[in-house]
Structure 1
């Protein structure tokens, strides 16, 4: 096994393991960090595959397909349409690059069988009759606007690379708007001018009123246990938080 093949195998294993970590992660920030690492590994993997392809091209002679065809009989083959949903991506200051992989033989197709157009907030890629499959990758709602006239695509041996020209040199956290992470709500701050006990009570009350169901259950449970300990130990009752059942 060559050195490039070993690197490809190792990075492929790294990507698979990161995917397992992502599926097991419950924290949004941790998951987002792992997804960034996954994209970096996938980009490195694509670069290695391109390098391997170039190396093979210099050492082997490409076989030309036979131009002879039987005119006496023709076999009708059915084709179907398949939507593309998986891709890897990376970015620079000027471009967002999308890598559509696992298109075995796409580099051998005539140019007229591959069409791609760009809009301010979207693009449309069509690959006709690749081994009897018509591939479609049409998406809108990009995270930010692009420059259609400066965007382009490149056909490789087994993948297509879309280069989306940015209108602004700013970082994209994702490609499409629906993938954007909702900002986490900041926790309420304690009022430093009030008594620490009163401020803590108000803080918990604000967290309870603005929190989701899971947050409310957690606070209610903690408050119940605290009240029980205080009653058992002979402490004061204290004010409640205005929560149901208290």
Structure 2
């Protein structure tokens, strides 16, 4: 199997892993699939570099002595319109290289970018597990001054709160858990106790006064608000 076929197989593996990760429900299974994705990404980057070096050696044996290595693109920005999610990659002088050296591939839930021979390096980025499906056939790329813009066409005109499901899961994990069966008044009393503990003398006098009044109401059979 030559390098080109190996790259094709690895790209197919990566897309299938992304699909399986999206469908997996158990966290451990998701983590294992993500680990495998990282391994395949690394192997894919190495094969792409190998193919590029082979092509350079065939085209110019002298130039092949100048090694071209691949770096990972980690910094990007994104926003969205009603129909598109747009990812912005800042790469100095990218507008000066031939457009065919900027390769972008889309799938329903991912995309990959490979910018070849920019300032002596290849620049690569793969984003898996997009938050929602995209229309890969109508997605596109724009090259501007020092920038590549990835235009992911939305399948549905809904707002994306995150770019990927991984980002969404990470944010949701950081949210405090809420007990739906808990007494709402317990949360209020907990908050008031904290205010009392952290407050100054005037705040404590105010809360003490409110507490005393609430106790008097309870004695008279009226509803009380405070219960320290």
So what's the TM-score if we normalise by structure 2?
A: 0.50
CA distance in 1, matches of 2:63, 2:111: 36
- 2:98 is matched with which residue: 110, 114, 117? 110
Q: Deviations over 1:181-225 (max 9, x none)?
A: 549789999xxxxxxxxxxxx5331557xxxxxxx5x45434776
Paired with 2:149 and 2:86, the residues of 1 have a C-alpha distance of 7
Q: Whole-Å Cα distance in 2 between the matches of residues 139 and 117 of structure 1?
A: 11
Cα 1:128–1:222 change in 2 (3 A) is: same
Report the CA distance shift for 1:207/1:184 in structure 2 as closer, same or farther (over 3 A): farther
Gaps of 5+ in 1: 1-70, 190-201, 209-215
Counterpart among 183, 197, 203 of residue 184 in structure 2: 203
Provide TM-score, normalisation by structure 1: 0.47
Task: Assess if the C-alpha contact under 8 Å between 1:142 and 1:177 holds in 2.
Answer: yes
Match of 1:229 among 199, 208, 211: 208
| Structure 2, unpaired ranges of 5+ | 1-59, 198-203, 219-223
Classify the secondary structure of the residue corresponding to 1:204: helix
Hey, what does 1:145 align to over in structure 2?
133
- Give the aligned CA root-mean-square deviation in angstroms: 4.2
1:124 aligns with 2:103: no
CA gap 1:233/1:124 in 2 versus in 1, 3 angstroms: closer
Alpha-carbon distance in structure 2 between the residues aligned to 1:145 and 1:184: 25
Q: Aligned equivalents of 2:155 and 2:103: distance in 1?
A: 23
Q: Which aligned runs of 4 or more in structure 1 are off by greater than 6 angstroms?
A: 183-189, 232-235
Q: Does 1:87 align with 2:76?
A: yes
Say how many residue pairs are matched: 150
